[in-house]
Amino acid sequence: MENIYRVNMTDMTVKQEDVPEEWALLGGRGLTSTIVAAEVLPTCHPLGPNNKLVFAPGILTGTPSVQSGRLSAGGKSPLTEGINESNSGGTSAQLLARLGIKALIIEGQPKGDTWFNLHVNKDGIAIREETELVGKNNFAVIEAVESRLGKSTGILTIGIAGELRMLSANISVKDPDSKIRSHGRGGLGAVMGSKKIKFITIDAEGAPGVKLADPDKFKVAAKTFAKALLDHPVSGQALPTYGTNVLVNIINEAGGLPTRNFTSGQYAAHDKISGETMRDTIVARGGKPKHGCHAGCIIQCSQVYPDRNGGYLSSGFEYETIWGLGADCCIDDLDIIAKADNIMDDIGVDSIETAVMFGVAMEAGIIPFGDGAGVLRLLTDEIGKGTPLGRILGNGAGSVGRAYGITRVPIVKNQSIPAYDPRAIKGIGVTYATSTMGADHTAGYAIATNILNCGGYLDPLKKEGQVELSRNLQIATTAIDSTGMCIFVAFPALDIPECLPALTDMIGARFGVAFAVDDFIALGKKILKLEHEFNIKAGFNKAHDRLPEFFTYESIAPHNAVWDFTDEEIDEFWNF
C-alpha cells in the first residue's frame, strides 16, 4: 500500500494520505510536476510559504530493475521562476520506495529562526528541531548523521548555500559511499532552506518493499532491458570506461566545446582535461575508474578521483563540471577542477551553474581566465561564507552578468547553458530554448543524434529537423524521468528495438496493467504540456523560449557558426 505524506512547516503537522487514483501510475518527474502544477500557485514567490517541495521516487524505483534508483525533487524554481524537476541518484529514492512513500510533499514555512530535520521511517515522519548541524556543510552533516543513526540511513541535506537561499543551491543526496549526488539545477536547495529544513533522514528498517503485480513478466522484461544497456556501445562501453567525460575530446572535435566564456568552440588544452587523461590519472593513483551512484546501476558512469597521495578528492566527476571549469574558464588542471568539485559538493552549489558563473565572472574581471586558485578562493571565502560578493556569485551566471554589466551571459530563463555550444550543435540549442526547466541539456539530449549517431544522424550545423528531434527527445525524456531511470538508458532505447518495449513491459508488470510504448509517449507529452502551462501561468511567454542575443551575432570557431533560428521556427516546438 503506497501513501502520500504531507509535511506542513507552518503548523508543524504531518498527514498521511491515500494516493489519488489519477496519481496511481505516476512517479518521479511525472508525479512531482503533476503535484506542483495542481497545488502550487504559479505566481508565488519560490522562497515563500506558498511554494512546495515535492520528492517522488520513480515508477520503477525499488523494483529489481537495473538503473531505476533515482529520486525526483520538484517545486517552483527560485532560479528560473518556472517549474522545476531535478532527479538524482544516491540511496534515498530506493529507501523511500521500499517504505511505500509515493510522494513527500513539504509545504508552508515556519516563522522564526529555528531549524528542523525530518526523520522518515516505517511509522511515519517526525519533525525535529535541529541545532547542532545548522551552519555545517554537507560532508560534516553526513558524517554526523551517520554516527547518530547508522550508515544505512538515507540522507537528503543542504549545505551553507541552501541555508543562505542561494539560487544555485542543490539538495544533496548521500550515495552508497557516503559521498554526494545532487538534485542540481534550478535551486531547490534554496527552497528546502526557505522551509528551514536542514536535512531529511530515511530509515527503511522493516519497510514492506515494492510489490510487483506480475513478477514473472517483470523478470523477463528486466533481463531484456539490462542486456540492451550492456550491448550498446555508449552505455555498455564508453560511459563505464571514461565516464561522461568521454565527451571532452568528442565535443572539442565537433567544434562545440564552449571555451573562454563561449568565445570559441575548441579548447587548445582539451587533452589535459579529457576523459582519457582522467581515467589514466585515476588508475595510476589507485582510484575507482567506474562506480555506481546507487545500487543496481550496471552502466557505472561514475568514478572516484583520488588526489596525488591516493586520498579522496572527488566522485561523480562529470563532463559538464570539467568542461565548465576547464574549457570555459581555461583551467587546464584536473586536480584543481576536482578540488573545486569537492568544495561545490560540500557547500551544495550546482556545478554547472557555478562553473558557467565563473566564466562570466572572469570576463567581468573578478579573477582572470585560468585562475584555478582564484576559483577555489571564491568558493571557500566568498560563496562558502555568504559574503555579499559570495551571494552574487552563488546566485548564478545571470546574477553576475547583471551585477557587472556583462552582455555575453549564456543563460536561458536565467539558468546557465551547459557544455555544448548551440551555434555548432543546433539540436541542443532548440532544447535550451524550449525546455520548461531553462537551459538544460538533459531535457532533450540532441547530442545523441547530432554527434553520437544514436537514433540516426542529423547534421549539427544545419537547422533542418532539429526542432522535431528536440521535441521527440524532450517528450521521451520527460517519460524516462518519471520512471526513476537514469538518462543514459536513452542511448539503447534509441537504437536497440527491444529496449523501450522492455521498459514499458516492466511498468505494466509492476502495476498489473497494459502499458505500451504509446502510453509511455503519451505520458511524456502530457507532463511536458502541463509543465509548459504552469510556466505560462507563472508569466512566461514565447520571448522566454529564446537564446541570448549574442549567439546571433557572435560566430564561433572553427565553424564560424551563429544561432540562426527564427522565432517562428522555435515556436513550432510546442505544436504537438
Q: Which three-class secondary structure state does DSSP give residue 90?
A: coil
For residue 45, report the phi and psi dihedrals to the nearest 5 degrees.
-75, 130
CA 390/CA 229 separation, integer angstroms: 42
**β 415-416/53-57 pair status:** unpaired
CA 220/CA 225 separation, integer angstroms: 9
Contact set with ligand SF4 (CB under 6 A):
67, 89, 292-294, 297, 299-302, 486, 488
Q: Which three-class secondary structure state does DSSP give residue 374?
A: helix
Q: Which three-class secondary structure state does DSSP give residue 91?
A: coil
Closest by Cα among 354, 228, 299 to 67? 299
Nearer to ligand SF4, 67 or 182 (CB): 67
Please measure the distance between the N-terminal and C-terminal CA atoms of the chain and give it in whole angstroms.
36
For residue 406, report the phi and psi dihedrals to the nearest 5 degrees.
-95, 135
Task: State the DSSP code for 380.
Answer: I
Closest by Cα among 289, 285, 261 to 275? 289
Element (H, E) at 553: helix 550-553
User: What are 115's three cell numbers?
Assistant: 531549524
Amino acid letter, residue 417: I
CA 202/CA 210 separation, integer angstroms: 16
Q: What DSSP string runs through 509-536?
A: HHHTS---HHHHHHHHHHHHHHHHHHHH
Residue whose Cβ sits closest to ligand SF4: 486
Q: Chain-centre distance of CA 470, in angstroms?
A: 18
Residue ranges of E strands in 77-114: 83-88, 101-107
Residue 334 half-sphere exposure, CB side, CA atoms within 13 Å?
Answer: 26
CA 82/CA 423 separation, integer angstroms: 25
CA 340/CA 344 separation, integer angstroms: 6
Q: What DSSP string runs through 482-498?
A: HHT--GGGHHHHHH-TT
Task: State the DSSP code for 264.
Answer: B
Q: Which three-class secondary structure state does DSSP give residue 415?
A: strand
CA 157/CA 457 separation, integer angstroms: 41
Rg of the chain over all Cα atoms, to the nearest angstrom: 22
**β 101-107/3-8 pair status:** parallel
| 3-state secondary structure labels for all residues of 133-181 | CCCCCHHHHHHHHHHHHCCCCEEEECCHHHHCCCCCECEEEECCCCCEE
CA 459/CA 474 separation, integer angstroms: 19
Length of the chain: 576
**468 Cβ neighbours under 8 A, 6+ residues apart:** none
**CA–CA–CA angle 127, 33, 450 (5° rounding):** 130
